[in-house]
């Protein structure tokens, strides 16, 4: 079993059903954030850059090919995302030098190169859909969900999120589906465009560790302390519960579909990384990727690569799926 550290190489741990062609998980690069553990991770639309927000509220930019740090931003924040063509960033939970003070409840759009502020939007917790060049976020009073379109420079949709405050926006998918953590903390609500009808409610019961919707909009996936649940969106029914082994029972922290929708990646506290194929949701690869908590995962937009971050340890690793030659 590969230990998940020490740079590029072939990870030899591959678990596959006899009826599933084995995949290899190849370590394709590694670096370490220079300013702390990684709280937030994103990939540019062209796949050339990685963006990390660290525990000390610094934003670091990395070259995804060389895995070297390109820049540490002067602007300090705990959340940052690429938007538009990757030359702009959306930042939120802005911090001053004194990190003990409360974050600013605004979203800023800045130029990546100069950090010039282009737009200030009241609200927080943005999630981006770069295919349509929009973000979804919660209003500054935490009562509504909003969608901002960068093409028009306007908030195009605004609606009440729940009977209680909007806990957090979890995702906005290429099809426009917007998922939020409900105000009562017991379910995930999923709105389908044009956002006029009531949302689909997924009861979860335990602490939510990750949520995503498949690229074709068919499946919604919820990760909790002890399981991953697969829901059919149109049927509004749970179709599968993925078997969690000991390493993941510390809690799922992030979930992502690869762009072709054929594989789902999960990471858990303690660094356990699992890849599932989505035709039957069987496990095909398992790897100890990190040894820390609050692990993150982000996918590259055009291939079967993805990056994980180890939270406390500050490590960022790139992985790619490869099917061995017969």
pLDDT of residue 43: 95
pLDDT for position 2:
32
Nearest to 252 by CA among 224, 232, 222, 294: 224
Alpha helices in the chain (DSSP H): none
Q: Which two tokens stand for residue 165?
A: 């405050």
Closest CA to 200 of 212, 186, 190: 190
Q: Residue 39 has what DSSP assignment? A: E
Q: What is the pLDDT of residue 54?
A: 94
Joined together, the tokens standing for residue 11 give 């990870």
| 9-322 is a CATH 3.40.190.10 domain | no
Q: Which class for 11: exposed (0-12), middle (13-18), buried (19 or more C-beta within 10 A)?
A: buried
φ, ψ for residue 173, nearest 5 deg: -95, 165
Query: Among 141, 159, 157, which Cα is nearest to 149's?
Result: 157
What does the pLDDT read at residue 247? 46
**219/215 Cα distance (integer angstroms):** 9
pLDDT of residue 205: 63
- The rounded distance, in Å, linking the Cα atoms of 152 and 168 is 25
For residues 311 and 37, is the Cβ–Cβ distance under 8 A?
yes
What pLDDT does residue 16 have? 40
The ranges of the chain with pLDDT < 70 are 1-21, 96-103, 163, 184-185, 205-207, 244-250, 324-326
Q: How far apart are the first and last CA of the chain?
A: 22
pLDDT of residue 49: 96
Instruction: Give pLDDT, residue 270.
Output: 85
Extents of the domains making up the chain? 9-322
Tens-place pLDDT, residues 65-99: 999 999 999 999 999 999 978 999 999 988 766 56
């Amino acid at each position: 079993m590969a230990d998940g550290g020490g740079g590029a190489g072939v990870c030899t741990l591959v678990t596959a059903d006899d009826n599933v062609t084995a995949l290899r998980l190849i370590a394709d690069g590694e670096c370490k954030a220079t300013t702390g553990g990684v709280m937030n991770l994103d990939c540019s639309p062209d796949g050339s850059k990685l963006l990390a927000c660290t525990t000390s509220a610094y934003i670091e930019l990395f070259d995804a090919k060389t895995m070297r740090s390109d820049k540490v931003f002067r602007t300090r924040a705990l959340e940052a995302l690429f938007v538009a063509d990757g030359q702009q960033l959306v930042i939120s939970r802005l911090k001053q030098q004194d990190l003990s003070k409360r974050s600013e409840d605004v979203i800023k759009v800045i130029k990546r190169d100069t950090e010039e502020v282009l737009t200030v939007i009241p609200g927080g917790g943005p999630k981006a859909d770069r295919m349509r060049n929009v973000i979804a976020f919660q209003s500054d009073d935490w009562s509504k969900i909003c969608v901002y379109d960068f093409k028009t420079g306007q908030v195009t949709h605004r609606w009440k999120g729940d009977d209680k405050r909007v806990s957090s926006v979890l995702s906005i998918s290429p099809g426009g589906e917007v998922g939020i953590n409900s105000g009562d903390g017991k379910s995930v609500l999923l709105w389908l465009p044009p956002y006029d009808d009531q949302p689909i409610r997924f009861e979860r019961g335990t602490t939510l560790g990750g949520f995503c919707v498949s690229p074709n909009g068919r499946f919604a996936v919820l990760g909790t302390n002890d399981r991953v649940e697969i829901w059919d969106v149109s049927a509004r029914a749970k179709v599968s519960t993925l078997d969690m082994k000991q390493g993941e029972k510390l809690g799922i922290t992030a979930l992502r579909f690869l762009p072709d929708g054929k594989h789902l990646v999960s990471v858990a506290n303690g660094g356990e990384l699992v890849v599932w194929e989505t035709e039957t949701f069987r496990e095909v690869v398992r790897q100890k990727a990190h040894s820390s908590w609050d692990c993150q995962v982000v996918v590259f937009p055009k291939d079967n690569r993805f990056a994980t971050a180890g939270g406390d340890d500050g490590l960022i690793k790139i992985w790619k799926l490869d099917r061995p030659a017969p």
